[in-house]
């Protein structure tokens, strides 16, 4: 795996924290993500993974800390100092967000083609033939029969919906994609195919990604680096193989051993 870092991080997260009332959901989360790097965020249910992801993807403001993103012009920009319009533009161009539940990331009643074309239209593409051919191309890339282009995702299987959600996000060639448990809730064989596809796409497109998962096998397959969370804190981070083969923190040791035990 390529672990050579370019000098400047794409995303820089420092001391991010969030509370819900009295409950501390996230505390002191810090890490950098480099261009083209896939980072897995693992930890048990309730450890703060989604809270972290939503905080760094400008979906739910943290109570403390900073999130900085390197724009295409090379400028590092504080995500929460941006206007809402700038945040929205970022979210539909340079960023992607793949939801665990495809219905949260798709428009279930409009055609698959329109779901893929929408983000392109948001960037100003208006030519119908061009939108349709690009949508067709992307359906094929995610192994959806192009003949289904006019069908609504409501008529798709779970795996197809998830692949469509991925196509919809990647069509604008984002530089960073956030994914919250993209494969959970799918059959094991469907998961394997989706993971394989994600692996290929992230490599081909040199996509940086942050993938939340409670499944260490997903981290092993997709991620260059990983962070381990417990009770709202990052307790361990490092290269995926290192963390999984030689975990240092007792909680990571427990996670790794409980996966190995049947
Ligand atoms: N909207 C909310 N209101 C109140 N508490 C919340 C809210 N969202 C999350 N929490 C709490 O914050 C903590 C972290 O939750 P979070 O959803 O980030 O965990 P998670 O690691 O994503 O879990 P899971 O694997 O189950 O998705 C939990 O204690 C949760 O109960
Ligand atoms: Mg979650």
Residue 45 alpha carbon to ligand 2 centre in Å: 7
Mutate to test the pocket of ligand 1, among 41, 49, 229 (most ligand atoms within 8 A of CB): 49
Tens-digit pLDDT string for the chain (262 aa): 445 566 789 999 999 999 999 999 999 999 999 999 999 999 999 999 999 999 999 999 999 999 999 999 999 999 999 999 999 999 989 999 999 999 999 999 999 999 999 999 988 999 999 999 999 999 999 999 999 999 999 999 999 999 999 999 999 999 999 999 999 888 888 898 899 999 999 999 999 999 999 899 999 999 999 999 999 999 999 999 999 999 999 999 999 998 655 4
**Who lines ligand 1 at CB under 6 A?**
20, 23, 25, 43, 45-51, 214
> Which protein residue's CA is at the shortest distance from atom 14 of ligand 1?
48
Q: Ligand 1 centre and the CA of 22: distance in Å?
A: 13
Neighbours of ion ligand 2 (CB under 5 A): 50
Domain segments of the chain: what residues? 7-94+174-248+254-258, 107-173
CB atoms within 10 A of CB 10: 20
Domain 7-94+174-248+254-258 top-level CATH class = alpha beta
Ligand 1 pocket mutation, candidates 25, 56, 228, criterion most atoms within 8 A of CB? 25
């Amino acid at each position: 795996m390529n672990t050579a870092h370019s000098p400047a991080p794409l995303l820089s997260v420092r001391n991010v924290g969030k509370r819900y009332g009295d409950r501390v959901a996230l505390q002191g989360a810090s890490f950098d993500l480099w261009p083209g790097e896939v980072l897995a965020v693992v930890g048990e249910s309730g450890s703060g993974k989604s809270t972290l992801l939503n905080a760094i993807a400008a979906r739910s403001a943290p109570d403390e800390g900073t999130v900085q993103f390197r724009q295409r012009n090379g400028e590092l920009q504080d995500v929460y100092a941006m206007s809402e319009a700038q945040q929205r533009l970022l979210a539909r161009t340079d960023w992607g967000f793949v939801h665990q539940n495809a219905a949260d990331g798709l428009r279930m009643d409009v055609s698959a083609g329109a779901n893929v074309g929408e983000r392109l239209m948001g960037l100003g593409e208006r030519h119908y033939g061009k939108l349709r051919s690009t949508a067709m191309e992307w359906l094929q890339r995610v192994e959806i029969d192009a003949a289904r282009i006019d069908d609504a995702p409501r008529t798709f299987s779970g795996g197809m919906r998830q692949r469509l959600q991925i196509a919809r996000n990647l069509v604008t060639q984002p530089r960073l994609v956030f994914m919250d448990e993209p494969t959970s809730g799918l059959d094991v064989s469907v998961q394997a195919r989706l993971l394989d596809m994600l692996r290929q796409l992230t490599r081909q497109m040199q996509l940086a990604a942050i993938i939340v998962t409670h499944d260490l096998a997903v981290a092993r397959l997709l991620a260059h680096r990983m962070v381990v969370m417990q009770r709202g804190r990052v307790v361990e981070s490092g290269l995926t193989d290192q963390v999984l083969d030689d975990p240092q923190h007792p909680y990571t040791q427990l996670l790794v051993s409980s996966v190995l035990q049947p």
